[in-house]
Amino acid sequence: MPYFVNVVTDPSVKRKVAEAVGGQSHVAEAPVFLVFALDFEKVAEAARMAGVEPARPGLGHLVEGLVDIGIAVGWAAVTAESLGYGVAFIALYGNPCGVRESLGLPKGLVPVVGLAIGRPGEEPPLRPRQDRRGLYGERVPDARDRGAAVAGVYGDRLPRFMERVVGVGGYIEGVGKRFRECLADAGYVV
């Protein structure tokens, strides 16, 4: 389990984290905010305790850690909801070093995803979701049909959204750059 979950309840710290992720109010307002961070630093230390010199974490370590974090945050959400709480997933990978700094975490930890947990004040409306053809099926439709499932969610907002998010110089490119920089800062070889 190459991750660490930082439990954040201090209002001033939650405000700092909220600022680091673009002012997302769910972070600052939640009674509890969980930060799921990659932590191969602890794995390396355990290896050294066993007399094994660990490899520097690379792509395989990253994949393993991200999958484990996905499983852990999913189960945390299911558990919280089964107890009557509401949850909101917050992407931290857009500014992982900023989140790490706002929390005062060790350099070897790389925040990936957050989970805001609290009592919902209202029942939010369902957001549009892509057609199932783009998500699952016995047969995999061609890329055009899978893309249509995504496009159908955005309607006439599609061109602006795609340019802003996945276009050249868009949000996803920036995320990749910042995430890679933070991984390198934490000692990863990627």
Domain boundaries, given as residue ranges, for the chain: 3-185
How confident is the model over 34-83, as pLDDT tens digits? 999 999 999 999 999 999 999 999 999 999 999 999 999 999 999 999 99
Distance CA 143, CA 133 (A): 10
Going by C-alpha positions, the residue among 119, 50, 129 that lies closest to residue 84 is 119
Q: How many CA atoms lie within 13 A of 18 on its CB side?
A: 19
Residue 131's pLDDT band, with cuts at 50, 70 and 90, is: confident
Can you list the pairs that 5-10 forms with residues at least 24 positions away whose Cβ atoms lie under 8 Å?
5/34, 5/35, 5/36, 5/37, 5/72, 5/76, 6/34, 6/35, 6/37, 6/103, 6/105, 6/109, 6/111, 7/32, 7/33, 7/34, 8/32, 8/33, 8/34, 8/35, 8/103, 9/33
pLDDT at 167 over 80: yes
Q: Give 91's contacts (C-beta < 8 A, 6+ positions apart).
A: 21, 113, 114
pLDDT at 121: 78
Q: How far is CA 164 from CA 12, 50, 177, in A?
A: 31, 48, 16
Residue 122's pLDDT band, with cuts at 50, 70 and 90, is: confident
Distance CA 14, CA 38 (A): 19
**Range in 14-18, 66-70, 97-101, 170-174 the model is least confident about:** 170-174
How confident is the model over 72-116, as pLDDT tens digits? 999 999 999 999 999 999 999 999 999 999 999 999 999 999 999
CATH architecture of 3-185: 3-Layer(aba) Sandwich (3.40)
Radius of gyration of the chain (CA): 19
**Range in 14-18, 79-83, 127-131 the model is least confident about:** 127-131
